[in-house]
């Protein structure tokens, strides 16, 4: 395979040169590929959609983890739905105040691939004593768990196949069910330029369940065709306005380095370009 082609839409695709195929096969739930690209390093593809690349994974994983975890005053327990590559888990565990991060990944094959090929991404996070890996459907987990979480991060695939249920009203309702008062839900919500309806629908569903439904934006080079939206839902509207000075204090106290996240970028990410603002309403 000389080039990997990601068909984004009926009329759009992107191609990544394949320097070396490291894995190609089925996981039981999805087809999976791991290959090397000279510029992006290792690339993880599931069902022919680019999930993460070593070169730009830091953007998405830092911003999905640190925005809610620094906005929340004192997160103790966090939940990740999906995230089988372990990149988000590794970022969340950098927060010393977190007693436990539960990660519910549907596909054990993805976790096996992550351990075999993406150690530089997850740094062995699955073996961290504060990590609690559960293999199962995230929608079922949030409907049944007795556990409660201060921050819920939905690091899902797109709303097709096994990931589809993670965009449903029932799933969001059950996320709220297992959140502590004042908890924050953040979601992978696609590239608004390509998937506008997905964002509008998630925000509408958030607002039917929470006092606040909003979005923030990031720029991930391999999520092609513009900025990516992350959904934000909480009953405590003040959390989205956490003062810069407080974010700076928490970031300094946490004491870890980043490549994308800064307190200023955190605040600025909620400033939406008009075309995204209109989708969010
Ligand atoms: N960062 C990537 C992105 O933005 O597209 C997604 C990373 S991660 C690889 C997505 C994970 O969601 C996959 O490992 C997939 O198996 C998992 N997933 C899909 N549907 C799921 C479900 N219903 N419950 C739990 N995990 C699910």
Rounded Cα distance between 83 and 187, Å, is 11
Check whether residue 22 and residue 63 sit in a common domain: no
Question: Do 9 and 106 lie in a common domain?
Answer: no
User: pTM, whole model, 2 decimals?
Assistant: 0.97
Is the torsion defined by CA of 239, 240, 243, 244 positive or negative?
A: positive
Tell me: do 186 and 81 sit in the same domain. yes
Same domain, 66 and 203: yes
Considering the domain architecture, whether residues 185 and 112 belong to the same structural domain is answered as yes
Contact, 130 vs 93, CB < 8 A? yes
CB 141 within 8 A of CB 134: yes
pLDDT at position 1? 63
* Residue 123 backbone zone (phi > 0: left; psi -120 to 50: alpha; other: beta): left
Domain of residue 35, CATH code:
2.30.140.10
User: In this structure, are 17 and 106 located in the same domain?
Assistant: no
Contact of 147 with 178, CB cutoff 8 Å = yes
Residue 75: name the closest of 190, 208, 154, 179 by CA: 179
Kindly report the number of other CB atoms within 10 A of residue 269's CB atom.
21
Residue 20 sits in the same domain as residue 63:
no
* 201/273 same-domain check: yes
Domains of the chain: total:
2
DSSP 127: G
Using DSSP bridges, classify how beta strands 131-135 and 149-155 pair: parallel, antiparallel or unpaired. Answer: unpaired
Q: In the chain, where does DSSP find H-type helix?
A: 57-71, 87-92, 108-117, 119-122, 138-144, 169-177, 196-209, 244-254, 263-268, 274-280
Q: Pick from 53, 72, 95: which residue ends a domain? A: 53
- What are the Cα distances from residue 166, in Å, to 155, 199, 281? 9, 13, 22
Structure tokens of 262? 């800064």
Choose which residue among 105, 113, 191 to substitute to test ligand 1 binding: the one with the highest number of ligand atoms within 8 A of its C-beta: 105
How do the pLDDT tens digits run along the chain, 281 residues long?
699 999 988 999 999 999 999 999 999 899 999 999 999 999 999 999 999 999 999 999 999 999 999 999 999 999 999 999 999 999 999 999 999 999 999 999 999 999 999 999 999 999 999 999 999 999 999 999 999 999 999 999 888 888 999 999 999 999 999 999 999 999 999 999 999 999 999 999 999 999 999 999 999 999 999 999 999 999 999 999 999 999 999 999 999 999 999 999 999 999 999 999 999 99
What sign results for the dihedral spanned by CA atoms 57, 156, 265, 193? Answer: positive
What 8-state DSSP symbol labels residue 240? G
Q: CATH no. for residue 114? A: 3.40.50.150
| Same-domain pairing of 32 and 79 | no
- 43 and 109 assigned to the same domain: no
Distance 125 CA to ligand 1 centre (A): 17
Residues 30 and 155 in one domain: no
Structural tokens at position 143: 């409907």
Smallest CA separation from ligand 1 atom 1, residue: 51
34-57 burial, b if ≥16 CB within 10 A, otherwise e?
bbbbeebbbbbbbbebbbbbbbbb
Report whether 39 contacts 61 (CB < 8 A): no
Catalytic residues, by residue number, are: 155
Nearest residue CA, atom 20 of ligand 1? 163
State whether 93 and 21 are in the same domain. Answer: no
Q: Which domain holds residue 44?
A: 2-53
Q: Is residue 189 within 6 Å of ligand 1 at its C-beta?
A: no
CA of 244 to the centre of ligand 1 (A): 32
């Amino acid at each position: 395979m000389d080039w990997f082609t990601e068909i984004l839409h009926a009329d759009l695709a992107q191609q990544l040169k394949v320097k070396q195929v490291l894995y190609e096969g089925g996981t039981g739930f999805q087809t999976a590929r791991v290959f090397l690209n000279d510029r992006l390093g290792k690339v993880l593809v599931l069902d022919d959609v680019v999930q993460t690349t070593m070169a730009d994974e830091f953007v998405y994983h830092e911003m999905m983890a640190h925005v809610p975890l620094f906005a929340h005053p004192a997160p103790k327990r966090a939940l990740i739905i999906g995230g089988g590559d372990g990149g988000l888990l590794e970022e969340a565990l950098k927060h010393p105040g977190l007693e436990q991060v539960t990660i519910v990944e549907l596909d054990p094959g993805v976790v096996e691939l992550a351990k075999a090929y993406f150690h530089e991404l997850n740094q062995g996070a699955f073996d961290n004593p504060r990590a609690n890996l559960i293999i199962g459907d995230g929608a079922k987990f949030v409907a049944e768990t007795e556990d409660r979480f201060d921050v819920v991060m939905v690091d899902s695939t797109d709303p097709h196949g096994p990931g589809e249920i993670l965009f449903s009203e029932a799933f969001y309702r059950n996320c709220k069910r297992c959140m502590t008062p004042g908890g924050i839900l953040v979601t992978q919500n696609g590239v608004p330029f390509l998937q506008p309806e997905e964002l509008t629908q998630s925000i509408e569903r958030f607002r039917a369940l929470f006092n606040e439904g909003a979005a923030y934006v990031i720029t991930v080079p391999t999520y092609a065709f513009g900025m990516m939206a992350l959904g934000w839902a909480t009953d405590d509207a003040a959390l989205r306005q956490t003062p810069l000075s407080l974010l700076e204090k928490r970031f300094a106290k946490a004491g870890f380095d980043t490549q994308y996240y800064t307190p200023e970028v955190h605040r600025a990410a909620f400033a939406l370009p008009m075309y995204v603002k209109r989708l969010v309403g």
